[in-house]
Amino acid sequence: MTTWGICDKFLFSESFSFVPQNAEKRIDFYLTLTSHHPWDYPQKQHYIETYKALAKQNKKEMNPNVEAAASYVYVDEALQEFFSEYKKQKEFENTVFIITGDHNFNSDAPLISRYTVPLIIWSPLLRNSQKMNALVSHRDITPAIIGLLQHRYSIESPNEVAWINSGLDTSKSYRGQTFSPLIDPARNIIGILYQDYFIQKNEVYQIDSTLNLRKENSVSVNKKLQELYSLYKELDVYVCSQNALIENGLSDKEQTVIIDTTFFVDSLNPSKEFVAVLRTPLALQKKNVYIDFSAEICNRTANEAERNLYFVYGVRDKEAGTLVYKSNKIRFNQDDPQSEIVFQFKGRDLDLAPFANQGNELFMYIWNRCGLNFKYKDVQLKLYDCE
C-alpha cells in the first residue's frame, strides 16, 4: 500500500472478484501505481537485485534511481501474472488489451521525448505482430477503437462525440498526422502537436523520426500554425469554462425539479475560504440528483491563473460531518487571469442515493483553498430528482 493506492499485483488479483460474470460487452480500466513515486513495492531489495542483474546481462547502463527502475521489473512480473490469470476467463479469447502510460520516466530527456510512453495493443485475435512508427497520441485511441467496432461489428456509436482526433495512424514508416496539446506538471499547456510540428507561443518546430526538433523557417507555415495554436487555446478555455465538452442533459421522463433558483449577487470575497451556495435536506423520490449550476466569476488577484477555485458538492450529516463530496476545478484564463469567466457544472458524477432520506443535507459551495480575491454573480442553480 502506498500513498497512491495498492501495489499492482494486489490490484490485479483483487480485480477478478469484481469482474462481471455475464456481461457480453464491457470495458475495464486498470490504473497501475507501483512504477510511480514513491516506488513502494513488496520485496523491493529482491527486485532491485533482479534489475541490476538484468542491466549487467544486457550490458545496459544502470539507472542511478535503482528503486524507480526496479519497479518496472515488479510491474512486468505483475502483468505476466495478470495475463496468466485472465486466460482462465471465458472472454479472454475475445478481448482487446491496451497498455500505455501517462508520463515518461526520464524528465531530463529532450522536450518531445519527455512525452513518449509505450502504447501496446494486443489481443488473442491478432494473427501477427507489427510495430507502427507513426507519431500518435492517447487522443487517437478511443476514435480508433470506436471505428474498429463500427466497421467490423456494426456497433452503433453516438452521433456527437467529445474528441477531435480521428484514430491511430498504423503507418510502418514515420509520419505525423495526430493532434494533441502538451502540458507541464502544473497542467499548463506548453504547446501543441499538429501533424509533425510542435507549436509553442512564438516558435514552430518540425519533428523528425528521432523526435528531435528542427526550427521551421517558413514565414507562411509559422503564421498558419501560430493561428492554429491561438484558436485551440481559445477553444480549450471555452470548453473548460462553459462545461461544453458534450451535452449532458436529461429527458423529461426521468426528471423532477427539486430546486430552480437564480440569485444575482455581486459579492467580493477577499480570501474567504468557503463561499456557501446551498444547504438543503437531501430527500429523493427517485434515485439521484442531477445538478445544473452556473455562475459568472472574476478573479481579482493579479497574475494568478494557476491558483484555482473549486465547485464542491456533497452530503453532510449534522453530527458526523461530510459523508461524501466531489470537487470540480474552476479554471481561469491562462493568458488573462483577471478576465471574467462563466463556470458551469452539469452532471451527476457522484452517487448520492445511498445518503438520501436519512436526515442528511445536500451542500454546495465554492472552495477558495488558495486564498484568491474573487467576485461572483448571476448564480443559477437547478436540481433534478432523476433516475
Helix/strand/coil for 333: coil
Provide the grid cell at 119. Answer: 502504447
Strands of the sheet with 321-330, listed across from one edge: 274-281, 361-367, 309-317, 321-330
Provide the grid cell at 233. Answer: 487555446
Asked if 267 and 377 count as a contact pair (C-beta separation under 8 A), the reply is yes
Q: Using CA atoms, how far apart are residues 87 and 90, in angstroms rounded to an integer?
A: 8
Name beta bridge partners: 95: none
Asked if 269 and 371 count as a contact pair (C-beta separation under 8 A), the reply is no
pLDDT band of 180, cuts 50, 70, 90: very high
What is the share, in percent, of the chain residues with pLDDT greater than 70? 89
Per-residue pLDDT, 47: 96
Residues 6+ apart with CB under 8 A from 351: 288
Residues 6+ apart with CB under 8 A from 114: 104, 106, 107
**Tens of pLDDT along 46-90?**
999 999 999 999 998 888 899 999 999 999 999 999 999 999 988
Asked if 68 and 34 count as a contact pair (C-beta separation under 8 A), the reply is no
Give 142's DSSP letter. Answer: H
**Tens of pLDDT along 198-242?**
998 789 999 999 999 999 999 999 999 999 998 888 888 778 766
Q: What is the pTM of this model?
A: 0.66
**Tens of pLDDT along 356-373?**
777 788 888 888 887 788
Q: Using CA atoms, how far apart are residues 370 and 286, in angstroms rounded to an integer?
A: 37
CATH fold for the domain made of 252-386 = Jelly Rolls (2.60.120)
Domain ranges in the chain are 252-386
- Pick the residue with more confidence: 153 or 114? 114
Q: Using CA atoms, how far apart are residues 254 and 279, in angstroms rounded to an integer?
A: 24
- Whether 42 shows a pLDDT value over 80: the answer reads yes
Closest residue by Cα to residue 347 from 250, 260, 253, 256: 250
- Average pLDDT over the chain, rounded to whole? 84
Q: What's the average model confidence in pLDDT over 292-310?
A: 74
Neighbours of 246 (CB within 10 A): 11
What are the angstrom distances between the C-alpha of 220 and each of 28, 59, 177, 223, 224?
46, 48, 20, 5, 6
- Pick the residue with more confidence: 9 or 344? 9
